[in-house]
Amino acid sequence: MTISAVRGFAEDLRKLRLSAGITSQRALARLAFLSHTTVWAAELGAELPSLPVTLAIVRACGVSDDEEKAWERRWRLIYAAGQEHPSSAWPTQELADGSDPMDTGCDVDAVTVQIARVSLAAKRHIIGRIELRYSPRSHAAWGRFHGEKGLDWLAAHHHRVDLTIGIGRESDERRLGFQTEYAADNHWGDLLITGTGAFFAWTAVRFDGTEVAYRETDRAVLD
């Protein structure tokens, strides 16, 4: 992946928005059920937006099915090039407790080892899932949150939705939590090094500053 390819992708996303008559990033964010910062980052070109974010943007711009497939193919080509040459677009970070799994390259071989549904505390309403992710090559684990469409709608129309995505290591009772504003995409937290005891992922969800959901995955012993 080259920086120029990522920047060109971002510039074409911006041109697509303007050609669709959407004059502001905030307007596009509302139509795509994304946060303004997510749309801003996608058009900035510092890094490749995720595929779900890309597709949400192009759909909001009213593209045809064939055009959407073309955007997806282009995204996959750029992403695949990044896996062959990962240092060209993302900064590298030392593998250690508290590192970002994307910046350390742990996501390349990551697998999901535990999943727990997240529901509103006061209702039997599923709003997302928390996953325990694990990189066998790097011996690292972290949490990843994925929201349901209902949560996307609530975030776009009714509430400011904030997440804390965390990872816990039982051997030393260490817990890390990464806070972020929710957007219609996967969100992940920082990692912990594995090989000592059981691990679990956890998340807390807040609407307008009030915690409305908390969930942990089952424990898993990871090498």
Whole-prediction pTM: 0.63
Which among 21, 39, 20 has a CA at the least distance from the CA of 30?
A: 39
Summarize pLDDT for 104-135 with one digit per residue, the tens: 888 888 899 999 999 997 777 899 999 999 99
Burial 174-207 (b: 16+ CB within 10 A, else e): eebbbeeebbbbbbbbbbbbbeeeebbbbbbbbb
The answer to whether 73 and 159 are in contact (CB under 8 A) is no
**Contacts of the segment 143-147: beta carbons below 8 A, 24+ positions apart:** 143/167, 143/188, 143/189, 143/201, 143/202, 143/203, 143/217, 144/112, 144/186, 144/187, 144/188, 144/189, 144/201, 145/118, 145/186, 145/187, 145/188, 145/203, 146/186, 146/187, 147/182, 147/184
CATH fold of 106-221, please?
Immunoglobulin-like (2.60.40)
Beta bridge partners of 137: none
CATH fold of 3-88, please?
434 Repressor (Amino-terminal Domain) (1.10.260)
Domains 3-88 and 106-221 share a fold: no
pLDDT in tens, the chain (223 residues): 467 788 899 999 999 999 999 989 989 999 999 888 889 889 988 888 999 999 999 999 999 999 999 999 999 888 877 665 544 444 456 899 999 888 888 888 889 999 999 999 777 789 999 999 999 999 999 999 999 988 988 888 889 999 999 999 999 999 999 998 887 778 999 999 998 889 999 999 999 999 999 999 999 999 8
> Could you state, in order of their start, the residue ranges of all structural domains in the chain?
3-88, 106-221
